[in-house]
Chain A
Amino acid sequence: KNEVEQSPQNLTAQEGEFITINCSYSVGISALHWLQQHPGGGIVSLFMLSSGKKKHGRLIATINIQEKHSSLHITASHPRDSAVYICALPDNYGQNFVFGPGTRLSVLP
């Protein structure tokens, strides 16, 4: 089974800081998802990426398929970015998702 690790587990930043969240996995895949879970519990999909880099506003996601590693960056962080960020990827058979434990981000004003 694909094992997914995220680091750090918890992260506190000051408003405006550049933030990096990491995701590593054990079995090679060709696409990975980044999700955001708001304090109320709802989850939204941020990115699905299979190579290189994707950018959406202040969020940038990168993936290195060979290294089995992905990063999510937030530039000019804001308190509204406070959430749990989860990476998810297909299981060994490409059938269902395997989820990381999440990184809890708090951005202080």
Chain B
Amino acid sequence: DGGITQSPKYLFRKEGQNVTLSCEQNLNHDAMYWYRQDPGQGLRLIYYSQIVNDFQKGDIAEGYSVSREKKESFPLTVTSAQKNPTAFYLCASSSWWGGYNEQFFGPGTRLTVL
């Protein structure tokens, strides 16, 4: 089955620790995205990657970092510099980059920082 996987589904971390969220896709998509969702708010773009070995900051990149060493993988690191890391994180991919392409979403990771 083609799709996007994110792990883990729930993640708990102590304040001050870095944490990496996994995102893998087997859809052969060039573009991948990371979004953050807070209660009652729309999704906000953290980082995106148009193609392997390339990535760009989104609207709320501060305190986050990414890598895109393989086409199928786009991990997100939430660093200790992120002031309010507790949120629901969604990864997505599309055939190629652009707002006119359908995006496919993973199941999400709910991060709680204690």
Within 8 A of B (CB), among A69-91: 86, 88-91
Cα-based distance from A40 to B88 in the complex (angstroms): 11
Total CB contacts across the A-B interface at under 8 A = 62
Distance in angstroms from B45 CB to nearest chain A CB is 6
- B105 and A42 contacting across the interface, CB-CB below 8 Å: yes
Output the residue of B40, B44, B100 with the most chain A CB within 10 A.
Answer: B100
- A90 and B90 contacting across the interface, CB-CB below 8 Å: no
Which A residues are CB-close (under 8 A) to B99? 29, 31, 89-91, 94-98
The answer to whether A43 and B105 touch (CB under 8 A), given A96-B48, A101-B40, is: yes
Kindly state whether residue A41 has any CB partner on chain B within 8 Å.
yes
Which B residues are CB-close (under 8 A) to A35? 105
Which B residues are CB-close (under 8 A) to A29? 99
Kindly state whether residue B55 has any CB partner on chain A within 8 Å.
no
- A95 and B97 contacting across the interface, CB-CB below 8 Å: yes
Cα-based distance from A48 to B94 in the complex (angstroms): 13
Cα-based distance from A96 to B43 in the complex (angstroms): 12
Kindly state whether residue A68 has any CB partner on chain B within 8 Å.
no
The size bracket of the interface on A is: 20 to 34
The answer to whether A45 and B103 touch (CB under 8 A), given A96-B48, A99-B43, is: yes
Distance in angstroms from A95 CB to nearest chain B CB is 6
Which A residues are CB-close (under 8 A) to B100? 30-31, 48, 90, 94
Which A residues are CB-close (under 8 A) to B68? none
Output the residue of A35, A44, A91, A99 with the most chain B CB within 10 A.
Answer: A99
The answer to whether A45 and B104 touch (CB under 8 A), given A94-B99, A95-B99, A96-B99, is: yes
Which A residues are CB-close (under 8 A) to B90? 41, 43
Choice from A33, A41, A48, A91 contacting B110 with Cβ under 8 Å: A41
Closest 7 CB pairs of A and B: A90-B99, A99-B42, A43-B105, A41-B108, A99-B43, A42-B107, A101-B42
Residues on A lying within 8 angstroms of B by beta carbon are 4, 29-31, 33, 35, 40-45, 48, 86, 88-91, 94-102
